[in-house]
């Protein structure tokens, strides 16, 4: 199967196939029009720290297209969409999609990515195909939805959250490592465009005077990542398990209150299994359960932390070689020489 990068002459083909798209990036799917063919025009230009790359596969049956994005220097590439949808494809099976996924993985590797991830509906046919293509399930998540006509109940008082700053990055990273399982940490980072923190332990400067914000404790207890677009608002919470249910409701309500267009756009909150204790809180806030997805990963390369070439290779080899063994005959010859010397002295 011929796999190549899409060009401007392919726009009519993309416009025809894009109407039957399977979206694989929840953040883009719920915040902006990720399935418009104009994204092809941006494949070589950065858009808010994102790079989009589109590939086209052609065989005797039907052409297919796929797109992934690579954020700046992040070594994790994220699949955006495949079109047409595998469920609507011809009876030729999923062979063409396997070739396209291999091509996307290879292209992401050439761009410096170490892994390619996708968020897939675990009840879809594509889920089985991606496992065949070498993708493994690293986490499962559910999208919770709240329409603009619903508001926060009166008995929930929004907590005071502060917008995350550069100096909060270490605390956010520490909170992330304490909550997210180690297997998921390399590929499960939330979107970092905008975020709000809860209960930072430092002292903020307000009107020239120091004022302590949050609780008097060590460490950060909450971070809400927010991504906003024309189609909706996508949020991913990271809340420490020590937080009470009532406090979690206030924190999420405070984050929603900080978003400008929360009263006009639908809200989507991504909750992964290690944060599923937030489900009752989301129900109280008026959210309803949506799609269940699997976070699938295909590794492209294995990173090497540091090559140990501080000493020359020859010295390392010599250090690892055992000491030479003296044969017993050499020792006997030495003893005989000593005995002859002793006799002469006598």
Q: 153 and 189, same structural domain?
A: yes
Query: Do residues 233 and 265 touch, judged by C-beta distance below 8 A?
Result: yes
Tell me, yes or no, whether 195 and 263 share the same domain.
Answer: yes
One domain for residues 128 and 149:
no
Same domain for 110 and 154, yes or no, is no
In a domain? residue 100: yes
Per-residue pLDDT of the chain (346 residues; tens, 9 = 90+): 788 888 888 888 887 887 788 889 998 888 876 545 555 444 444 444 457 888 998 876 778 899 998 877 788 999 999 988 887 555 567 888 999 999 999 999 998 899 999 999 988 999 999 999 999 999 999 999 999 989 889 899 999 999 988 888 888 888 999 999 998 988 888 766 689 999 744 444 333 344 444 343 446 899 999 998 888 999 999 999 888 888 999 999 999 999 988 889 999 999 999 999 999 999 999 999 999 999 999 999 755 555 554 445 455 445 555 555 555 555 555 555 555 555 555 4
Read out DSSP for 242-297?
TS-HHHHHHHHHHHHHHSTTTTTS-EEEEEEGGGGGGHHHHHHTT-EEEEEEEEEE
CA angle 61, 67, 68 (to 5 degrees): 145
* DSSP tag of 154: T
Same domain, 154 and 288: yes
- Residue-number span of the structural domain to which 341 is assigned: 313-345
Are residues 91 and 225 located together in one domain of the fold?
no
Is 307 contained in some domain?
A: no
The contacts of residue 239 (CB under 8 Å, 6+ apart) are 179, 198, 221, 222, 248, 251, 275, 278
Overall number of domains in the chain: 3
Last residue of a domain, one of 109, 134, 159: 134
Handedness of CA 30, 50, 36, 18 (dihedral sign): negative
Check whether residue 338 and residue 205 sit in a common domain: no
Residue-wise pLDDT for 39-60, tens only, equals 544 444 444 445 788 899 887 6
Residues 43, 68: Cα–Cα separation, whole Å: 9
Both 121 and 8 in one domain: the answer is: yes
Placement of tokens 């790079």 in the chain? 51
| 120, burial (CB in 10 Å: exposed 0-12, middle 13-18, buried 19+) | buried
174 prior amide bond cis, ω within 30:
no
**pTM assigned to the model:** 0.76
Q: Are residues 156 and 285 in the same domain?
A: yes
């Amino acid at each position: 199967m011929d796999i190549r990068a899409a060009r401007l002459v392919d726009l009519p083909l993309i416009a025809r196939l894009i109407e039957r798209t399977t979206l694989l990036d929840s953040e883009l799917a719920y915040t902006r029009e990720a399935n418009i063919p104009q994204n092809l025009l941006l494949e070589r230009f950065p858009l808010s720290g994102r790079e989009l790359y589109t590939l086209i596969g052609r065989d005797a049956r039907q052409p297919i297209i796929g797109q992934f994005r690579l954020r700046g220097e992040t070594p994790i590439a994220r699949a955006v969409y495949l079109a047409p949808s595998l469920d609507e494809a011809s009876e030729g099976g999923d062979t063409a999609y396997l070739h396209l996924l291999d091509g996307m993985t290879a292209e992401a590797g050439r761009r410096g990515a170490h892994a390619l991830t996708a968020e897939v509906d675990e009840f879809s046919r594509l889920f089985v195909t991606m496992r065949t293509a070498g993708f493994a399930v690293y986490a499962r998540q559910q999208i919770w939805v709240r329409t603009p006509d619903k508001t926060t109940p009166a008995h929930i008082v929004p907590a005071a959250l502060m917008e995350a700053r550069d100096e909060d990055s270490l605390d956010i990273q520490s909170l992330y490592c304490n909550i997210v399982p180690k297997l998921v940490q390399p590929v499960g980072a939330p979107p970092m465009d905008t975020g709000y923190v809860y209960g930072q332990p430092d002292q903020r400067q307000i009107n020239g005077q120091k004022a302590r914000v949050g609780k008097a404790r060590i460490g950060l207890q909450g971070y809400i990542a927010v991504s906003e677009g024309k189609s909706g608002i996508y949020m991913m919470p990271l809340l420490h398990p020590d937080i009470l249910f009532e406090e979690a409701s206030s924190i999420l309500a405070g984050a929603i209150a900080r978003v400008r267009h929360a009263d006009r756009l639908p809200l989507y909150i991504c909750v992964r299994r290690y944060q599923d204790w937030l489900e009752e809180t989301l129900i109280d806030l008026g959210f309803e359960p949506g799609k269940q997805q699997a976070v699938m990963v295909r590794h492209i390369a294995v990173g090497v932390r540091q090559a140990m070439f501080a000493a020359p290779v020859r010295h390392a080899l010599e250090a690892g070689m055992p000491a030479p063994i003296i044969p017993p005959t050499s020792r006997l010859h030495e003893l005989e020489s000593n005995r002859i010397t002793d006799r002469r002295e006598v």
